[in-house]
Chains A and B, each alone.
Chain A
Amino acid sequence: MIVCPHSTFIEGVGPLLDGLVEGLGRYNDFVSVLAADDSGLSFRAARGETGVADSRWVQRGLVVRAQRGGKVAEAAVNLPEGPGSEALVARVARMLDELFVAGAKVHPPLPDEPARLEARGNVAIDPFETDPEMALGRLASFRDALLSAPDIVSAEAKADFVKVSRAYRSRSRALVQTFVWDQAYLFGVTRREDRAKVSYRSVSGLRGLESLDELEAQAPALASELAELLGAGRVEPGEYEVILSPAMAGTLAHEAFGHGVETDMFVKGRARARDYIGKAVASPMVTMYDGASGVEQTGSFLFDDEGNLGRRTTVIKDGILVSGFSDALSALALGIEATGNGRREAYDHKAYARMTNTYFAPGQSTLDEMIASTRAGWLLDRLNSGMEDPKNWGIQLIALVGREIRDGRFTGRIASPVMCSGYVPDVLRSITMLSRDFELGGSGACGKGHKEFVKVSEGGPYVKTRMRLG
């Protein structure tokens, strides 16, 4: 395996960060600086073309957080100010001065426990040092395999590799981390006359170009699925038994008690879950986690964007809501410990309480047993999107593929898309089976509202429950 080196910028930025902490520390009670230098490559093969570009996640810059008289402000910059830190200190000081306005909230003092840590990830095939032709050639062959199937009018194969390189400094903390995450997709559009359907396969992790092997293995199944989807109908509206694939189940976890226990939502009075800590919110067989540590996926890291170390939080234990997860400011406001979930879309975005890797713990059943136990329901797969409603506990999931089950067997009928909705506690309390499988997927991005996208993963086992479908 190849150990990922820190970026040149991150290797050399330490003195600048120390200068900012020291210089701005003269005017402020607390100062921290996060430096980010994330590089990335995006390889793509679509119909009639291939291309290479920087990933959309590329960034380089600094964000300074300062606390003065309890008020908190941040200044984000990426402009050079010449050698040394003095000029940058002066610039950031000017920006901060304008932000400490009368009437702003007085927060408790930000903690600054000592820590000095460094972490570097590794990959088998380094995407940044390999001839791009290798990745493009393989993606083009995946694309061509899809396009050779009847009725597939458009196909795209894409692979992203992002090297995250970050450094955090405060008076007591010096943290550095570098690792690579990957995501790759195969996407197809099938169309015949006035019908069009889409589906995909995706893989993700903390790997290099070796991830393409996993993607390649999934191409034949995608072609077959697209052919089936042209004959897909719709589900008759109603409530059904549903078996959610690990990706769908993970998104249920994510939307139901992921966003719902982000503790900045507690502070705003936007999350009903705050009143349910210590109470039953799900079937006793349900245990759910969120954490940057404990699993290796796209939501993993050593420290978050506020300099707090990642950990694993037990959100639901045996059906009881145990804990939320926090960014630094909401933890302060609530008098709880920060859990290492303070994350930013980029250095020039605010940190919020965000998910990392969110999943249900596996159960004891097999998928076959779950199907056999279903009288009238649907197996739902290929997540399209999900949306939370933490105050009112509604939930929306869209599956691109639904397969009908009657009397314990697949009928051969397929539906696309399938809109799933429900009242969160009803859905979680109705869980009757969880499979022994465990899969995490991190090929998407999670927004807060409709912005502030961060990489997360989600998953777990197959989950059987009841939902309204349409």
Chain B
Amino acid sequence: MRETIKAVLAARPGVADWLLVELRKSGSEIYLIGDQTDISRAVESLNYTLLVYVDSETSGQQSRGEARVTLHPTMSEEEVARAVDRAIFAASRSRNPWYGLPEGAPPLVALPPGGFEGRSPASWAAELRDAILDAADPSKGLAERPGAMKGALASAPRLNSLELFLTKRETRILSSRGVDVGFSSHEGYIEYVVEAEGEAGEVELFDDLRFSEPDFDRIGGEIEGALALVGERAHALPLPALAGLPLILGGKEAASVLAWFFDNADAGRMWLGSSPFALGASVHGDSARAGEYDPIELAAEAILRGHPASAPFDEEGVPLARHPLVQGGELRGLAGSSRYSSYLKLPVVGGYRLFSVGAGSLGLEAMRARPHLEVARFSDFNVDPDSGDFGGEIRLGWHFDGKRRVPISGGSVTGSLFENRGRLRMSSEIGLAGSMLGPRNILLPAVSITGAATGG
């Protein structure tokens, strides 16, 4: 198929450049209800994404159009040719400022073996399932407690359901500019629901985890942590009406707030006018005062150990490495595709999916020392990349009034990163969450809190 596509392209002189991404996937999926397999699935697929570039000149001004087309391995040569011709025609109808594609280059970093190599995804999936069920076994924790009762076992937090995916991904990237690179990785994903009995009935929490290594301690630890949290939700009180308290976030929610800085340090968003940042200016805003915030140190990362989005090349075949973007709170560089980097006359460093943020100044215990609201799980925590508005309905959190730390549920928080970026505090503890290696917790001082009504 690859050769067919290349032959079709070679016969079409109107194509100024092309870029072909081949992705072969082989995966195994297990769907559990309780501890029983409800259904199992296997997936084997191969897909090709082709970009064709067509140049034109109007009044001495050179322009370039591109079109993307998906090619399937079951396509005949005639179908491929037709699809490519349609893409060429479509590309000829876009006349954007000209830019060049990156030349082929060797990798700057090596993707380390994840540990799933050598056995089939189905075999590993079965082992992962068993490990997760072991971590979720409600009798495990109780057995270690003296005087554990059978009744306690029946009402102990438990796994409601689990979806487990393990996929081997083989990527190859080729281009008319000499790019020909390939790499292989495994992507693991679990989505799970845990539940517990409370005074007002059963409650649940939903979570998910992406991983690239058979790190049973990490995966089991996530499940055990979720079971502990749902046990807290079972006894949580409705969030009271509160005002003037800072908000502490952790895990993926903290990562999604810090991702706002990463997402806006992007050449594409800068070119399109969406990014509020400027090179050389503070990402904390002009009014931020030294000492009132933790200056962000942010870098785009090719590889974060254990994260399945780790890759030695971006989608254009640009070799990736660690690339600092924000230093001392100041925007020093932009990541992004060759197109937008070229438009902004910046060096092409590639498009990144992962990032790191340096540790902040406060330990979590210090963050928690003053009255605050801390939220561990939302229904759906939302950070708008353009407006900087964030918020969500609370499923589990804690209110600390200076004396007591009480689990709470219901109600919501909202805020704006424009109002918080100049007073943002980050924890000194770091860890992997979302697409980030960075502070495990952040503190946002300017939020609006809506209490939960009683009832229900």
A residues whose Cβ falls under 8 Å from a Cβ of B: 8-9, 41, 46-54, 58, 60-61, 72-80, 91, 95-96, 98-101, 103-105, 131-133, 136, 153-154, 156, 189, 191, 194-198, 234, 237-239, 267-270, 329, 348, 350, 384-389, 391-396, 398, 416-417, 419, 421-423, 425-426, 449-451, 468-470
Contact = CB atoms under 8 A, between A and B. Distances in A.
B72 interface: yes
Nearest to A80: B74
A132 B41 contact: no
B215 interface: no
Contact of B384 (A58, A77, A132, A198): A198
B290 interface: no
A470 B450 contact: yes
A224 B400 CA distance: 43
A470 B94 contact: no
A196 B387 contact: yes
A280 B455 CA distance: 17
A50 B379 contact: no
A103 B133 CA distance: 14
B251 interface: no
A79 B40 contact: no
Contacts of B418: 194-196
Contacts of B103: none
Nearest to B87: A52
Given A49-B96, A58-B70, A77-B44, A421 B411 contact: yes
Contacts of A53: 67-69
A421 B450 contact: yes
A77 B45 contact: yes
Contacts of A80: 73-74
Interface in B70-91: 70, 72-75, 79, 87, 89-91
A419 B453 contact: no
Contacts of B153: none
6 contacts: A47-B272, A53-B68, A74-B42, A101-B40, A105-B33, A268-B161
A237 B241 contact: yes
Contact of B206 (A52, A100, A103, A449): A449
A60 B72 contact: yes
A270 B343 contact: no
Given A48-B271, A103-B36, A391-B195, 20 more contacts: A8-B79, A49-B97, A50-B95, A50-B96, A51-B94, A51-B96, A53-B68, A61-B72, A73-B39, A75-B43, A78-B74, A79-B44, A80-B74, A101-B37, A239-B453, A417-B391, A419-B412, A421-B393, A421-B411, A468-B412
Contact of A396 (B90, B120, B387, B392): B392
Contacts of B202: 269, 391
B74 A423 contact: no
Query: Which residue among B42, B87, B97 has the maximum number of chain A CB atoms within 10 Å of its CB?
Result: B42
Given A50-B96, A391-B202, A234 B411 contact: no
A470 B79 CA distance: 54
Interface string B232-243: 000000000101
Given A52-B93, A239-B453, A421 B69 contact: no
B449 A191 contact: no
Contacts of B65: 50-51
Contacts of B204: 270, 391-392
B274 A395 contact: no
Contacts of A96: 42
Given A60-B74, A74-B39, A196-B386, A237 B44 contact: no
Interface string B203-216: 11010100000000
B93 A78 contact: no
Nearest to A466: B453
Contacts of B299: none
B37 A417 contact: no
Contacts of B195: 269, 391
Interface string B410-435: 11111000110000000000000000
B41 to A, nearest CB: 4
B87 to A, nearest CB: 8
B330 to A, nearest CB: 17
A468 B272 contact: no
A22 B452 CA distance: 58
Query: Which residue among A72, A91, A191, A237 has the maximum number of chain B CB atoms within 10 Å of its CB?
Result: A237
Query: Which residue among B90, B378, B451 has the maximum number of chain A CB atoms within 10 Å of its CB?
Result: B90
